[in-house]
């Protein structure tokens, strides 16, 4: 598949975004997932779009049986090395999250850090949700972490600059309100040179996100505003959907 994300997710982006999470934030996220998904040690968990394993490996350390998919081969190799270093068993698959369904099915599934909504149409994005649904045993639960779109509109930021180490990352954002799309132009500047990327995110307000989850078969959809498990509100930066396969 020819897509923008296969170019965006490289070593530079991993260094600036994927590997910069504070350990205490990751630990809090693991606690949230264990509680909200009703996990017990030994539970089989599918990490859809796992990146470099920054959630998969801590979940495996907690006691989950992890199977994860990630499209970036370099990220998969890095996640496997990290799992070996942490002495945990986790299966990382290099593949397309629009297609991969683990076998046997899992007790829970996660899709974290805005790894959903990369296509401009509902049918395309629903394919990824359908793979998460098919990954679960009956009664299994799915957690989807996504921006809270009303908060994005209310606190619109057309420019954002981040610096990690010797890398400066500039994000320039534009909205296509008619199509419900967020376009970003990314510029990375470091001693190694300058690279530019373009991305597109389909913007689903909370009610539309819940409806899309229901359209692929999920029930009992709950919308939370963050890992504090509070109900979603206008000032919530995130929209975390918890849904169940009946």
Taking only the tens place, the pLDDT of each residue in 175-221 is 999 999 999 999 999 898 899 999 999 999 999 999 999 999 999 99
Nearest to 171 by CA among 183, 161, 181: 161
Task: Give the alpha-carbon dihedral of 158, 75, 204, 140, to 10 degrees.
Answer: -150
Supply the pLDDT for residue 215: 98
Distance CA 16, CA 116 (A): 20
pLDDT at 14 (0 to 100): 76
Q: How far apart are CA 142 and CA 132, in angstroms?
A: 7
Q: Which residues, 6+ apart, have CB-to-CB distance to 15 below 8 Å?
A: 164, 165, 167
pTM of the model: 0.94
pLDDT at 6: 83
> What does the radius of gyration of the chain's CA atoms come to, in whole angstroms?
17
Give which of 61, 15, 52 is closest to 34, Cα–Cα: 61
- pLDDT, mean of each 10-residue run, the chain (246 residues): 77 72 91 98 97 96 98 94 95 97 98 96 97 98 98 96 89 97 95 92 98 98 98 98 98
């Amino acid at each position: 598949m020819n897509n923008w994300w296969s170019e965006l997710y490289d070593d530079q982006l991993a260094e600036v975004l994927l590997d910069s999470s504070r350990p205490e934030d990751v630990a809090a996220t693991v606690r949230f997932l264990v509680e909200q998904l009703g996990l017990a040690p030994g539970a089989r968990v599918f990490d859809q779009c796992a990146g470099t394993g920054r959630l998969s490996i801590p979940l495996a350390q907690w006691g989950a049986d992890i199977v994860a998919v990630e499209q970036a081969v370099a990220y998969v190799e890095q996640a496997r090395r990290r799992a070996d270093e942490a002495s945990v068993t986790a299966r990382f698959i290099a593949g397309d999250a629009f297609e991969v369904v683990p076998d046997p099915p899992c007790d829970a599934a996660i899709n974290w850090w805005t790894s959903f909504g990369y296509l401009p149409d509902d049918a395309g994005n629903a394919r990824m949700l359908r793979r998460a649904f098919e990954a679960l045993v009956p009664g299994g639960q799915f957690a989807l972490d996504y921006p809270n779109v009303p908060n994005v509109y209310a606190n619109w930021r057309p420019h954002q600059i981040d610096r990690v180490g010797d890398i400066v990352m500039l994000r320039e954002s534009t909205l296509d309100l008619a199509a419900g799309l967020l376009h970003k132009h990314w510029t990375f500047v470091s001693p190694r040179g300058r690279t530019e990327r373009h991305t597109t995110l389909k913007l689903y307000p909370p009610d539309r996100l819940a409806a899309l989850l229901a359209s692929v078969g999920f029930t009992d959809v709950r919308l939370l505003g963050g890992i504090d498990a509070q109900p979603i509100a206008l000032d919530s930066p995130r929209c975390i959907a918890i849904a169940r396969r009946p």
